[in-house]
Amino acid sequence: MAETSSIQAPALEDVKLAAARVSSRVHQTPVMTCEGLDRIAGAELFFKCENLQKVGAFKARGATNAVFSLSEEAAQRGVATHSSGNHAAALAWAARERGIVAHVVMPTSSPRIKRIAVEGYGAEITDCEPTLMAREAALEEVVARTGATFIHPYDNPEVVAGQGTAALELHAEIDRLQIVVTPLGGGGLLSGTAIATAGLAGHVEVIGAEPEIADDAYRSLRAGVLLPSDDSMTVADGLRTALSPMTFGVLRRFGVRVLTASEEGIIEAMRMIWERAKIVVEPSAAVTLAIVLANPAEFQGRRIGLILSGGNVDFDHLPW
């Protein structure tokens, strides 16, 4: 039997409300194209550039919606989360925008560039070992000590609704899409995209892109039951998390498929986006192009939106 969540997933109306709440605080990011990549893929590719978003990632959308949804009383106690980087930076930035404190638990394996960003936004950082169990234990201690509100990176309806605003913008700008592809880690962006797409363009298929060595979502959806993460050290560091009961339920409800990409394929796709499209993305964003190139029968001749989730890269440690 599939695991269910006690958290109510957002609806399309919640995504639209989130768009109204965050529109003055985050960027409406551009959609870019590249003829060279179109020729290589044999498809029309439309890149939604969330690497150009505030804090360099789509996470700014969900964090902003969650932080500015809090009551004044709750906000004054601060917010807290655990994250390998992008959500941490987003929550720290959103908290600073509201004038409240953010407490962030970060695994020791987090990229240096992301740690620097979180510190720069004024968050108080607590280190932990790079496992989900360690992250959750450290976060529990922080919340008990501070009384801060836990803003989960993806198992939070306000966060998911905020992430769905990227898809709202994509569909408003680009018509006749046939497929939308997003990276898949914890499922917040993919869930928000599925909710927005089903409500606005029900004929468009939504596909999740996941590293094959961190394929817990792929396996979970095939098995019909939520399976744990193997704590994989994929190069796509932002996708090392597992689905939550809520995001798992959303993906099942909307019939979202997941395709996986090899580590070599992710690195090659990242390099191609840099070289061909002149867009700086991190490995977690490049997994979208990686699955397109690895599955020509699925994508050739199609009109495809790809959400490039972020561009926070440590330039001293590029994967090639």
Tally DSSP H helices, then E strands, for the chain.
Answer: 14, 10
In this predicted structure, the answer to whether residue 2 has a pLDDT above a threshold of 80 is: no
Mean pLDDT, to the nearest integer, of 290-295? 98
The confidence band for 5, taking pLDDT boundaries of 50, 70 and 90, is low
Specify the number of domains making up the chain.
Answer: 2
At residue 4, the pLDDT reads 58
Please give the share of the chain, as a percent, with pLDDT higher than 90: 85
The confidence band for 1, taking pLDDT boundaries of 50, 70 and 90, is very low
The answer on 73 and 28 residing in a single domain is no
Residue 138 maps to which CATH number?
3.40.50.1100
At residue 115, the pLDDT reads 87
Nearest 10 degrees: CA dihedral of 229, 129, 52, 271? -70
The answer on 298 and 241 residing in a single domain is yes
For residue 102, give its domain range.
60-150
Question: Which structure tokens are listed for 164?
Answer: 């769905």
Q: Encode pLDDT of 13-33 as tens digits.
A: 999 999 999 999 999 999 999
In a domain, 3, yes or no: no
In this predicted structure, the answer to whether residue 312 has a pLDDT above a threshold of 70 is: yes
The confidence band for 271, taking pLDDT boundaries of 50, 70 and 90, is very high
Distance of alpha carbon 22 from alpha carbon 64, whole angstroms: 6
Nearest 10 degrees: CA dihedral of 268, 182, 175, 9? 180
Instruction: Tell which of 150, 173, 194 closes a domain.
Output: 150
The answer on 244 and 177 residing in a single domain is yes
The answer on 301 and 176 residing in a single domain is yes
In this predicted structure, the answer to whether residue 85 has a pLDDT above a threshold of 80 is: no
Other Cβ atoms closer than 10 A to 73: 7
β-strands 44-49, 31-32: how paired? antiparallel
The answer on 177 and 290 residing in a single domain is yes
In a domain, 129, yes or no: yes
In this predicted structure, the answer to whether residue 231 has a pLDDT above a threshold of 80 is: no
What is the DSSP track for 177-228?
--EEEEE-SSSHHHHHHHHHHHHH-TTSEEEEEEEGGG-HHHHHHHHTS---
The answer on 180 and 72 residing in a single domain is no
